[in-house]
Amino acid sequence: MAHRPDPTHTHGSRVTTPIEATHPLDPLNGDEIAAARRILADAGHFTERTRVPRMLAVDPSKEALAAWSPGDPLDRRILVTLLERDTGVASEALVSVSRGEIDDLRVLPNTEAPFGQPQYLFEEYEDAAVIVQASEEWRAAMRRRGLEEHIELAFCSPLAPGFFGREDEVGRRIVRSHTYLRLDERDSPWAHPVEGLVVHVDLTERRVIRIDDEGDVPVPMAHGNYDLETQGPTRESLKPIEITQPEGPSFSVDGSLVRWENWTFRVGFTQQEGLVLNRIAFRDGDEDRSVAHRASVPEMVVPYGDTSISRHWISYFDAGEYLLGKNANSLSLGCDCLGVIHYFDAFVPDDHGNPVKIPQAVCMHEEDYGILWKHTDLEGRPEVRRSRRLVVSSFSTIGNYDYGFFWYFYLDGSIQVEAKATGIVFAGAGLPGAENPHATEIAPGIFTPVHQHLFCARIDAAIDGEDNTLHEIETVRIPTGPDNPYGNAFTWSDTQLATELEAQRLADGLTSRVWEVRSAHRKNHVGQPTGYRLIPEGKGLLAAQPESSVHGRANFATKHLWGTRYAPDELYPAGPYPNAHAPGAGLPEWTRRNRSLDGEDLVLWHVFGPTHFPRTEDWPIMPVDYSGFWFKPHGFLDRNPALDLPEDARASCAPGDGADAPAGCCSSDSPHD
């Protein structure tokens, strides 16, 4: 990826802007997005009502990628979803921007079972608000509540409808709108929900198809603003923290290619997933050994546990319905990231298919992470090395919530994935002091429903190549007897998950259950297969009942682990178009074939994330909630790969007692010391 350094970049940081693809896995640049639109328009596939819900780069086959060498020509192809706003007809075009040709064009059967709609357009959010506010039924509902003076400043929030098989909804482009009040132009609307009022909108016909108007709960009027102007004065007790790297960072960037210590990978970005990492490898001696071909968090579902008319249908698919990449933040030094930063700009199409740059969509930096290894010998001599990690991150805002996706690379060959949920909890209203089994009162009259944030990571594993096996490892207790005469013994089990149905698994913290991907051909120096282990947190899965609609639509969230045999079109665990789609798409559909996982090209799908019981401390803005997992080498390397780290203050405390230690050294194991 040829890149242009940004001369206006923030001091202490650099920016990579993709301007020309030089590698098959480079992210889309603005010229390619514009070219795809132009090719379709020249072929007569654009009218004034045509919109572009999504554009995705199509990766070359693994065989083509293996055969490609730098300098070889690139065939850059883009999958373009088209939507006719006046008819609702949707289609997919496969466009080669290298050859200037349309390789395929098909109409999507979104009016037939199992249905499914393209992702939402930004202009549809605005249209939905206009349609709602023009509705006499909605205005009458507002007047009945005595809210007519707030109509002009009301915020109408367009929300994905789920799927319930209603005749006036199936095969149609629907949103459901909640209403919130704003007391002035800058007021946070989330603090003023109009409870029991839901407007159902057909976006194609531009009309309200029905209104739910139930109850007369007073609208909470206390503000929910969280800016310093409202919440100040500013605290003055915190002393400055400065993070400096006087010799610059330890990583290097060449287009999309990143090298840091023993790690190499390529930074990608898509409109649907946001941050994507490709061709992850760890250098062992003179060899770059493959760990994963592609890794991302391609989907997340947010189901609500509330039975009210306002929320029983809510189950957002924030990637598949709203697009994490399209909603990515532009990150800034000193706020989102600290230290010596390298940013990556990203390009996505707007609703009309024209390129839009998201400046600094991805942030990368190094940070200290406490003690990596330490031992004090019998003579009292310590050897200590400090840990450091490379952080690659992005943030997306979807309505009231904000999600950060952080990939951490460690010096010992480990990878950690962390999702950070923050923003504003989704508020409803109730009578102050009332009991609600499905929602917590977090401020007077503000009731926030119990809900879940269930992320699904996808790791296209490639442990020393594409021929891998999958195993479940867990602790086994041994009954006292001939195999355990003293009662102290325990061992482990090692079960191969040889097919896709066998590889649908639940975590079990009581047995320390993990899943290991192994090379089918390579062994380490003790004769065991090289491998990496996925170490789950093992939090709760989808809490909805099997007969519910969301259980079928978000079936991927009913297991902590799915293992599948690689297929190039299996990228999204709920299918490519979960919006208004009937249950059954994605992982449950694919795994019915029960393909072999024995020595095959394997993909791991891991579900993680919190079940959120809101608390008063979450208001008016929620502190970050962390969740994630580890992907750690287990027998992949023949020894600790961090034995050669320096002793000086770049990475450790020097030998000797505290008086002799160089400035900046300490004995704390805090990642922030």
* pLDDT at site 333: 73
Element (H, E) at 372: strand 355-376
Q: Confirm if 300 and 319 have CB atoms less than 8 A apart.
A: yes
Both 109 and 131 in one domain: the answer is no
CB contact at 8 A, 102 and 93 = yes
Please check whether residue 53 lies inside any domain of the structure. Answer: yes
- Residue 16 located in a structural domain: no
Domain boundary among 85, 117, 149: 117
The sign of the CA dihedral 163, 167, 168, 173 is positive
For the chain, the 3-state helix, strand and coil shares in percent, each to the nearest 5, are 10, 40, 45
Q: The CATH number of the domain where 373 resides is what? A: 2.70.98.20
Q: Please identify which of the residues 213, 318, 345, 618 carries the catalytic annotation.
A: 318
* CA pair distance 567, 553, nearest whole angstrom: 21
Domains: count for the chain? 3
Amino acid occupying residue 424: I
Q: Are residues 399 and 528 in the same domain?
A: yes
**Whether 164 and 187 share a structural domain:** yes
Identify whether 1 is part of a domain: no
Residue 474 is assigned to a structural domain of this protein: no
Mark whether 461 and 568 lie in a shared domain.
Answer: yes
Instruction: State whether 431 and 359 are in the same domain.
Output: yes
- Identify the three-state secondary structure at position 190: helix
Q: Are residues 173 and 306 in the same domain?
A: no
**End of a domain among 168, 203, 231?**
231
Concatenate the DSSP letters of all residues of 471-491 into one string. EEEEEEE--SBTTBTTS--EE
Domain check: are 111 and 133 in the same one? no
Query: Using only C-alpha atoms, what is the Rg of the chain?
Result: 26
The pLDDT value recorded for residue 223 is: 96
Domain boundary among 66, 101, 117: 117
- What is the structure's pLDDT at 338? 87
Residues in CB range of 231: below 8 A, 6 or more apart: 225
133's CB contacts (< 8 A; 6+ apart) are 139, 151, 154, 156
309 in the same domain as 384: yes
Looking at residue 652, what DSSP letter applies? S
Residue 59, both tokens: 């990766």
On whether residue 239 sits in a domain, the answer given is no
At 103, the amino acid letter reads D
392 in a domain, yes or no?
yes
Q: What is the pLDDT of residue 652?
A: 37
* 96 and 164 assigned to the same domain: no
CATH number of the domain bearing residue 86: 3.10.450.40
Q: What is the pLDDT of residue 261?
A: 97
Q: Give residue 67's domain range.
A: 22-117
> Quick check: is 401 catalytic?
yes
Omega of the bond leading into 620 within 30 degrees of 0 (cis): yes
pLDDT tens sequence across 624-641: 999 999 999 999 999 999
Contact between residue 234 and residue 250 where contact means Cβ atoms under 8 Å apart: no
Distance CA 472, CA 515 (A): 5
Contact 437/660 with Cβ under 8 angstroms? Answer: no
- What pLDDT does 1 receive? 58
User: Is 482 within a domain?
Assistant: no
What's the CA gap between 328 and 398, in Å, rounded? 9
> Do both 567 and 606 map to the same domain?
yes
Query: Is 572 among the residues known to form the active site?
Result: no
- Tell me: do 354 and 211 sit in the same domain: no
Our separate counts of H helices and E strands in the chain read: 7, 38
Look at residue 597 and give its three-state secondary structure: coil
Cα angle: 275, vertex 277, 279; to 5 degrees: 165
Gap between the Cα atoms of 306 and 543, Å rounded: 12
Catalytic residue among 401, 403, 566, 577: 401
End-to-end alpha carbon distance in the chain: 37
pLDDT at residue 224 in the model: 97
CB 343 within 8 A of CB 9: yes
Residue 41 has phi, psi (to 5 degrees) of -65, -40
Contact in structure between 294 and 276 (CB atoms under 8 Å): yes
Write out residues in the chain with pLDDT < 70, as ranges.
1-12, 649-673
Map tokens 């992982």 to a residue: 587
pTM of the prediction?
0.95
- In-domain check, residue 408: yes
Angle formed at CA 45 by CA 41 and CA 48, multiple of 5 degrees:
75
Asked whether residue 71 falls in the same domain as residue 135, the answer is: no
